[in-house]
Structure 1
Amino acid sequence: MTKQDFKYKVFSLSSLIFPMVARMLGCNSNAEDAIQEIMIKLWNKRKQLDKHPNIKGFVILTARNYCLDILRKKTVLLEDSTATLKIIKSTNGHSDLEWKELNNIIQNILTKLPEQQKEVFIMRDIDGYDFDEIAAALQIKIEHVRVLLSRARKQISTALEKTYSYERGKY
């Protein structure tokens, strides 16, 4: 793989993996450093990358594994990295306080989800990855990604319904 090929096929994906890396590491400056390290690792593997059938999936997998390695070294739990997660933003004039409250409720629900369901939900619905990219990153089948996402959404929906029904006095 030439320098130009690497730039277009791999380096251009750095903006795609940045939100995931920033979320996992909890800080934009750490994420920027991690992206540089990930790109160096990928540059060193450029000959293998040239023959890889799913470069985008491999880049996401490499980024995820790098972040997990850093988190293991620092003994920081993955759940702690969701503390800065902004799930939804106010777009229709509702008060910021309502959106902050909803974000807090969803974050609490996410901490109760099984790890794979939480990761799939965040990668798909928050970071915006495709099913094949998530499957490659987590090294599972696409069908399993769909099942995990469906289960996560159902649990979140049920928990939100319980929360809002309780607030309205129905429970």
Structure 2
Amino acid sequence: MVVRWRPIRPHVRSIREAVIVDLDPLSEAADATLAARAADGDVHAFEMLARRHGPLMRVYSAKLLGSDIESDDVVQESFLTGWRQIAELDSPAHVRNWLMRIVTRKAIDRIRVRRDHDDIDQVNPPAHESRSPEKIVETRLQLDAVWEALDRLPADQRRCWLLRETAGYSYQEISDALEIPVSTVRGLLARARRFVLHEMEAWR
């Protein structure tokens, strides 16, 4: 089985493709349902998880790696790993966090390879029907502002922030992943948080 993640922009999808997705009974299924079905070997259920969470995984890994091209490869590798291991997932309801952990490990592996070779120190959530168009636009603008702020951070600060705030890593896990002391992690994270808070002041 091969899961292919293709970052397709909505405006370039054909009308026929859009209708097929909208009519798919699994398109509205909960993550837990899709994950449970995928664990039983349902390829289509896993493909729906890939459609649902692929965009966030791509943006997140691109910020970690600093490369859109590499992020596509990392997301593809993550879905292949996810498909092979999903039967081992203890809590199907937490499949998104589980996928984010996988893509984080894949991205960190790439960063380590870069260091070894080069010796050098880069979503929108589904909108609830009850939310007003104005609120949806505001949320998207806030997300854009966060990503723009992260883009202006030094790479080491950005990685610490993403691992802590998005992937939920502990200080020790970040230390192990980036191979830096915990004290350095705390310092980098503190500076990153101050900068992001300052940049987001207008949204308070």
* Contiguous gaps of at least 5 residues in structure 1: 82-86, 90-98, 124-133, 141-147, 161-171
- How many residue pairs match? The answer is 120
Question: Post-superposition shift, 1:20?
Answer: 1.1
Q: What's the TM-score, normalizing by structure 1?
A: 0.51
Instruction: Name 2:111's counterpart in structure 1.
Output: 71
Q: Is the 8 A contact 2:164 2:170 kept in 1?
A: no
**Residue number among 68, 78, 93 corresponding to 1:28 in the alignment:** 68
Q: 1:49 maps to what in 2?
A: 89
Distance 2:145 2:121 in 1: 19
RMSD: 4.2
Letter in 2 for 1:155: R
| 1:148-169 C-alpha deviation (Å, 9 max, x unpaired) | 9x95576327988xxxxxxxxx
Distance 2:56 2:193 in 1: 27
Unpaired runs of at least 5, structure 2? 1-37, 123-143, 172-186, 200-204
Equivalent position to 1:4, from 44, 47, 57: 44
Contact 1:13 1:56 in 2 (8 A): yes
Shift of 1:71: 0.9
Please say if 1:156 is aligned against 2:202.
no
User: Structure 1: which amino acid aligns with 2:67?
Assistant: C
Q: Which has the higher contact order (CA 8 A, sep 6+)?
A: 1
1:58 paired residue number? 98
Residues 1:154 and 1:51: Cα distance change in structure 2 (over 3 Å): closer
1:10, distance to aligned residue in structure 2 (A): 4.3
Aligned-partner Cα distance in 2 for 1:11–1:4: 10
AA of the residue aligned to 2:104: R
Counterpart amino acid of 1:16?
L
Offset at residue 88 of structure 1 (A): 4.0
Question: 8 Å contact 1:38–1:62 — kept in the other structure?
Answer: yes
Answer whether contact 1:10 1:59 (CA < 8 A) is retained: no
